[in-house]
């Protein structure tokens, strides 16, 4: 136990005047009795028999001293410290991801449980402690600054609602790191079900007290929705449904304009990941919704609905640079593909210059991007491919192991792969002495940069080359929504194919935004769509719908992680013990009030009242 | 009109009339040698036959029962009961504590009743008032006979309380002036520091059967005080601070019962008797019911 204001103990000196005044002012009512003989005997007998008579004789004084003691103790603010040591500033991170909406049989969600615990923490806030509330969703939101104002904290806590997104714990910890720079933070409390993602390891200057909330729950939900055109032009819609816990059966329906285009029943066991394929006619263009109805326990409602926008079919627009015959021949093998001029917006651009990205997917050949030109040096010495990023969409299934290059690229002195990553570039293909190809993803665009002209390599003569071109075409088709269409997930989303330069108003669940500018490429980014549903995009002469769904396998799984790996350290879920402080001033004040009432009652009680 | 017809403010005429039909009981061990109305034993000169005994030389020949002599041929002396006079002494404690409530009035009533019964019963009656000053008593009597009734009642009219003389000192002061055997009715609250055995022993030694009547006020019998009090003695003015008096009432009752028991034991040990009475109770009930049931009057 600690005393936050021990200096207030000086108030105990008031006991002296209390005692003095008591004895000075002690005015007993005089009562004339026939004789004191009996009373004298009684008093003598009673003093002998009762060693506590001195206390009983001055019960009022005793009560007054106890009252003063209780008040003085309350004034010194004794506090029983909780599990979180130290004092000062305490960021409290609250997971508000979709899985926190999972409810138990009583309808109480994980977030409700977390809010109750945080409310108890706020109520037990010691005078020397300040709390800042941070919501952990797809992005981290600071709900309050550091404050000990319980009303402000409770108001922020009450307004907290579940975001139907995943949880980016890394962003929240980085925010806490930033807060720690301006205030002394030794501990951070995280209330979560453990269903969070951490993109990279962090060096944390504080310890994380991880409070696991919510019981395990059963759930069934849609985790992925994709569509692609079949060879006959129809749409093949792939729906992935995942079940956890004892679930049962359910139905998945594909609905467009209120009409069911397809329906499938399914029965799932714990851990099942069922893939359902719906075949829709080629004419089924526009928005379709995929609805899941569970006949069993379903703890999460937000993952039962998904949207998919089926675009009109058109040829892929490809911009190809001059003197790129090998690329041209490879492209000729693909159907529904138009080679367009440089002034036409393309879906895929294959160019010489590494400093222009005229399309969502750009492949530059033979030049080093200016952004990293100071890090790399080109040499005439030959080299081979040492390794490549097999997960890169451009290089999937492309065997580059025997490809030789007549020229090579070296790192400038003091530069390495980490230096490139610091400028947003990753190495796609490693040569013997340095990178041969780089990859940069920025927003909705991707740029693959071959640093050496492929005419000085054996790649055009290898099978890997048409495979690589096919990968580029496929990625461009996907990004253009021509080949494979994926449903949009909650979070920060981007809408394309909007009138370039126009302004758009967005209306949707919890979102009301006006006059958002569309960029020159017809894209509107930065729409914070944290709720599942339809978002209306309207502008001058046009109106679009954007369907957003959860589609997060982790959130649907309602995974409860007992341990979170935070860089070099791990945070283990702690028990039900109270992390907050327990101030004693309230019970002491209540005790003082009780003593006051007892004293008043004792003093005012009627004669003979005991009998 | 009706008040002027009353003999006394102490007792009503109807009560006096009822009292006149009563007589004080008590043993006959303590009587004066003077002839009186109280038959005490054989060898007296009353007309009430007691026994026979053989005639002995020197006996008054007038006592021989000649009828027996004629029948048996032997002289037998006929004995008669002796009729001796009993001195009814009444001591009223007039200390200040008796002025509390109606205790003194009740003492005057019992004194008057005892005096009436004594006078009507042909006994000598003396009334002592003690309590104002140490070794000082006021005295009436001894008086005898119905004609003294008004005098007795008039004497009791003027009794007032005051002073701080303990009851044993009052008894000593009375005995210093008293002559005559009989009974002594002590009317007091006995709430002074004294030794009941010494008190009854002194009266016994003086040839007085002790009748101790402890008269207490209802507030003494059943006090209802609470909290912190400063109790002031009505006699001495001394004070005693009592805290949490409500919790002490049990002890108070125990000590009160103890004082009464000690008094009764001391009196009975000397052939006397004792009774505790409440000044708040009806006088006629106490006299005609309790005293009669207890055998104090008949």
Most confident option among A6-10, A48-52, A463-467, B86-90: A463-467
Residue with tokens 């052939």: B271
User: Distance (Å, rounded) from C-alpha B72 to C-alpha B53?
Assistant: 14
Q: Which residues of B touch A28 (CB under 8 A)?
A: 228-230, 241
Question: Is residue B222 assigned to a domain?
Answer: yes
Q: What angle do CA A432, A433, A435 make, to 5 degrees?
A: 90
- How many CB contacts within 8 angstroms connect chain A with chain B? 115
Same domain, B98 and B75: no
Nearest by CB: A32 against B193, B232, B259 = B232
pLDDT at site B2: 45
Contact B189 A606 (CB under 8 A): no
Question: How high does pLDDT run on average in chain A?
Answer: 85
Q: Could you tell me where the DSSP H helices lie in A145-187? A: 150-158, 169-182
Same domain, B97 and B138: yes
Assign A262 a pLDDT band (cuts: 50, 70, 90): very high
User: Distance (Å, rounded) from C-alpha A408 to C-alpha A380?
Assistant: 6
Assign A244 a pLDDT band (cuts: 50, 70, 90): confident
Kindly provide the residue ranges of all beta strands, DSSP E only, lying in B146-219, ordered along the sequence.
182-188, 208-216
Contact A34 B259 (CB under 8 A): no
pLDDT at site A19: 81
Give the nearest chain A residue to B243 (CA atoms): A57
Q: How far is CA A504 from CA A484, A526, A536, in A?
A: 26, 12, 10
Assign B28 a pLDDT band (cuts: 50, 70, 90): low
Mean pLDDT over A244-260 rounds to 86
Instruction: Please state which of the ranges A76-80, A133-137, A163-167, A516-520 shows the lowest mean pLDDT.
Output: A76-80
Question: Is residue B8 assigned to a domain?
Answer: no
User: Distance (Å, rounded) from C-alpha A529 to C-alpha A490?
Assistant: 6
Same domain, B171 and B285: yes
Q: Which residues of A touch B101 (CB under 8 A)?
A: 34
User: Which H, E and C letters describe A187-206, residue by residue?
Assistant: EEEEEECCCCECCCCCCCCC
Question: How high does pLDDT run on average in chain B?
Answer: 80
Residue percentage of chain A with pLDDT more than 90: 30
Residue A318 has, within 13 A of its CA and on its CB side, a CA count of: 27
Q: Which residues of B touch A38 (CB under 8 A)?
A: 191, 220, 252, 255-256, 259
Nearest by CB: A607 against B225, B232, B235 = B225
Instruction: Please state which of the ranges A425-434, B83-92, B184-193 shows the lowest mean pLDDT.
Output: B83-92
Residue percentage of chain B with pLDDT more than 70: 87
Assign B288 a pLDDT band (cuts: 50, 70, 90): confident
Q: Which residues pair with B64 in a beta bridge?
A: B77
Same domain, B258 and B119: yes
Same domain, B59 and B157: no
Same domain, B125 and B257: yes
Contact A37 B191 (CB under 8 A): yes
Higher pLDDT, A50 or A141: A141
Question: Is residue B52 assigned to a domain?
Answer: yes
pLDDT at site A269: 85
pLDDT at site A610: 45
Same domain, B218 and B261: yes
Instruction: Please state which of the ranges A2-6, A371-375, A470-474 shows the lowest mean pLDDT.
Output: A2-6
Kindly report, residue by residue over B32-68, the tens digit of the pLDDT.
Answer: 555 555 555 545 555 567 678 888 887 778 888 889 8
User: Is the whole-model pTM more than 0.95?
Assistant: no
Domains contained in chain B, number: 2
Residue with tokens 């995929």: A290
Question: Is residue B1 assigned to a domain?
Answer: no
Segment holding B161, helix H or strand E: none
Same domain, B74 and B91: no
Kindly report, residue by residue over A532-583, the tens digit of the pLDDT.
Answer: 999 999 988 888 889 999 888 888 888 788 888 877 777 888 765 555 667 7
Cβ-based neighbours of B242, under 8 Å, separated by 6 or more: A39, A43, B225, B228, B229, B230, B231, B248
User: Which H, E and C letters describe A320-362, residue by residue?
Assistant: ECCCCHHHHHHHCCCCCEEEECCCCCCCEEEECCCCCCCCCEE
Same domain, B58 and B141: no
Helices A59-75 and A585-604 sit at what angle, rounded to 10 degrees? Answer: 160
Assign A252 a pLDDT band (cuts: 50, 70, 90): very high
- Does residue A218 surpass a pLDDT of 60? yes
Q: Could you tell me where the DSSP H helices lie in A145-264? A: 150-158, 169-182
Question: Is residue B7 assigned to a domain?
Answer: no
Mean pLDDT over B177-192 rounds to 84
Same domain, B147 and B158: yes
**The two structure tokens encoding residue A343:** 């002034």
Q: Which residues pair with A192 in a beta bridge?
A: A212
Question: Is residue B298 assigned to a domain?
Answer: no
- For chain B, helix (H) and strand (E) counts, in that order, are 10, 10
Give the nearest chain B residue to A35 (CA atoms): B233
Higher pLDDT, A333 or B137: A333
Q: Which residues of B touch A54 (CB under 8 A)?
A: none
Assign A519 a pLDDT band (cuts: 50, 70, 90): confident
Same domain, B184 and B275: yes
pLDDT at site A579: 58
Higher pLDDT, B81 or B281: B281
- Does residue B162 surpass a pLDDT of 70? yes
Determine the structural domain holding residue B100 and report its residue range.
Answer: 13-19+21-25+86-293
pLDDT at site B222: 84
Higher pLDDT, A173 or B242: A173
Same domain, B125 and B67: no
Mean pLDDT over A486-508 rounds to 86
Q: Which residues pair with A263 in a beta bridge?
A: A253
DSSP, res A457: B
Question: Is residue B249 assigned to a domain?
Answer: yes
Question: Is residue B161 assigned to a domain?
Answer: yes
Contact A36 B217 (CB under 8 A): no
**Which string of DSSP letters, residue by residue, matches B67-97?**
HHHHHHSS-EEEEEEEEEE-EEEEEEE-SGG
- Bond into B142 cis (ω within 30): yes
The CATH number of the domain where B213 resides is what? 3.40.50.410
User: Distance (Å, rounded) from C-alpha A258 to C-alpha B114?
Assistant: 119
**Which string of DSSP letters, residue by residue, matches A549-560?**
E---HHHHHT--
Assign A395 a pLDDT band (cuts: 50, 70, 90): very high
């Amino acid at each position: 136990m600690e005393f936050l204001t021990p200096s207030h103990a000086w108030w105990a000196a008031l006991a002296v005047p209390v005692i003095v005044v008591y004895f000075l002012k002690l005015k007993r009512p005089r009562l004339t009795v026939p004789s004191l003989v009996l009373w004298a005997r009684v008093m003598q007998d009673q003093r002998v028999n009762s060693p506590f008579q001195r206390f009983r004789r001055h019960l009022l004084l005793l009560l007054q001293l106890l009252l003063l003691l209780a008040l003085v103790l309350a004034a010194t603010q004794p506090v029983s410290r909780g599990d979180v040591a130290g004092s000062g500033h305490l960021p409290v991170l609250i997971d508000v991801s979709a899985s926190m909406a999972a409810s138990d049989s009583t309808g109480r969600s994980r977030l409700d449980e977390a809010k109750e615990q945080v409310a108890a923490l706020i109520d037990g806030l010691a005078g020397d402690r300040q709390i800042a509330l941070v919501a952990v969703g797809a992005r981290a939101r600071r709900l309050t600054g550091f404050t000990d104002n319980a009303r402000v904290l409770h108001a922020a806590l009450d307004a907290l609602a579940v975001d139907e997104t995943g949880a980016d714990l890394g962003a929240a910890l980085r925010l806490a790191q930033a807060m720690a720079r301006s205030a002394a933070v030794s501990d951070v409390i995280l209330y979560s079900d453990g269903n969070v993602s951490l993109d990279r390891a962090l060096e944390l200057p504080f310890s994380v007290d991880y409070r696991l909330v919510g019981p395990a729950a059963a759930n069934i939900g849609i985790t992925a929705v994709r569509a692609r055109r079949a060879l006959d032009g129809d749409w093949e819609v792939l729906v992935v449904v995942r079940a956890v816990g004892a679930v049962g059966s359910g139905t998945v329906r594909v609905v467009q304009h209120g009409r069911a285009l397809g329906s499938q029943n399914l029965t799932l066991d714990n851990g099942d990941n069922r893939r359902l394929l719906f075949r829709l006619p080629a004419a089924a263009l526009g928005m379709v919704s995929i609805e899941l109805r569970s006949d069993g326990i379903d703890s999460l409602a937000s993952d039962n609905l998904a949207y998919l926008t089926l675009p009109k079919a058109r040829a892929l627009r490809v911009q190809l640079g001059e003197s790129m015959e090998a690329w041209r021949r490879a492209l000729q093998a693909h159907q529904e593909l138009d080679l367009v001029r440089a002034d036409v917006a393309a879906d895929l651009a294959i160019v010489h210059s590494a400093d222009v990205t005229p399309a969502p997917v750009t492949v530059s050949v033979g030049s080093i991007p200016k952004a990293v030109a100071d890090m790399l040096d080109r040499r005439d010495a030959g080299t081979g491919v040492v390794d490549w990023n097999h997960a890169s969409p451009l290089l999937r299934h492309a065997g580059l192991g025997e490809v030789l290059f007549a020229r090579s690229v070296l790192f400038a002195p003091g530069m390495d792969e980490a230096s490139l990553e610091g400028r947003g570039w990753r190495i796609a293909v490693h040569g013997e002495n340095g990178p041969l190809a780089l990859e940069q993803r920025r927003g909705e665009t991707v740029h693959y940069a071959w640093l050496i002209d492929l005419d000085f390599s054996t790649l055009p003569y290898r099978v890997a080359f048409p495979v690589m071109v096919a990968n580029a075409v496929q990625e461009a088709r996907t990004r253009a929504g021509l080949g494979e269409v994926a449903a949009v997930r909650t979070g920060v989303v981007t809408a394309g194919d909007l009138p370039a330069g126009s302004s758009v108003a967005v209306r949707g669940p919890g979102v009301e935004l006006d006059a958002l500018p569309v960029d020159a490429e017809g894209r509107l980014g930065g729409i914070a769509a944290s709720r599942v549903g339809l978002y209306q995009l309207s502008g001058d002469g046009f109106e679009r719908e954007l369907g957003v769904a959860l589609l997060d396998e982790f959130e649907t799984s309602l995974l409860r992680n007992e341990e979170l790996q935070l860089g070099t350290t791990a945070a283990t879920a702690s028990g039900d013990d109270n992390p907050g402080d327990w101030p004693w001033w309230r019970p002491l004040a209540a005790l003082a009030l009780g003593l006051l009432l007892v004293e008043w009652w004792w003093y005012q009680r009627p004669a003979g009242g005991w009998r | 009109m009706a008040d002027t017809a009353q003999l006394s403010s102490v007792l009503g005429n109807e009560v006096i009339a009822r009292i006149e039909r009563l007589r004080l009981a008590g043993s006959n061990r303590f009587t004066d040698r003077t002839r009186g109305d109280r038959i005490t034993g054989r060898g007296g000169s009353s007309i009430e036959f007691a026994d026979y005994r053989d005639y002995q030389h020197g006996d008054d020949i007038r006592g021989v029962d000649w009828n027996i002599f004629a029948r048996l041929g032997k002289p037998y002396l006929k004995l008669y009961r002796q009729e001796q006079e009993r001195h009814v002494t009444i001591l009223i404690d007039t200390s200040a504590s008796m002025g509390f409530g109606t205790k003194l009035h009740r003492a005057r009533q019992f004194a008057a009743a005892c005096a009436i019964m004594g006078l009507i019963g042909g006994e000598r009656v003396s009334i002592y008032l003690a309590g104002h000053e140490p070794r000082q008593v006021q005295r009436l009597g001894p008086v005898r006979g119905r004609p003294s009734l008004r005098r007795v009642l008039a004497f009791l009219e003027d009794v007032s309380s005051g002073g701080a003389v303990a009851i044993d000192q009052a008894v000593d002061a009375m005995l210093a002036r008293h002559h005559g055997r009989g009974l002594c009715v002590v009317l007091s609250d006995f709430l002074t520091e004294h030794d009941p055995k010494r008190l009854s022993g002194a009266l016994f030694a003086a040839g007085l059967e002790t009748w101790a009547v402890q008269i207490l006020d209802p507030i003494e019998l059943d006090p209802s005080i609470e909290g912190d009090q400063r109790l002031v003695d009505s006699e001495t003015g001394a004070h005693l601070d009592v805290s949490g008096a409500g919790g002490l009432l049990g002890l108070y009752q125990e000590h009160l019962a103890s004082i009464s028991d000690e008094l009764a034991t001391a009196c009975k040990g000397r052939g006397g008797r004792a009774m505790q009475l409440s000044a708040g109770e009806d006088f006629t009930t106490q006299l005609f019911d309790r005293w009669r049931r207890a055998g104090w009057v008949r």
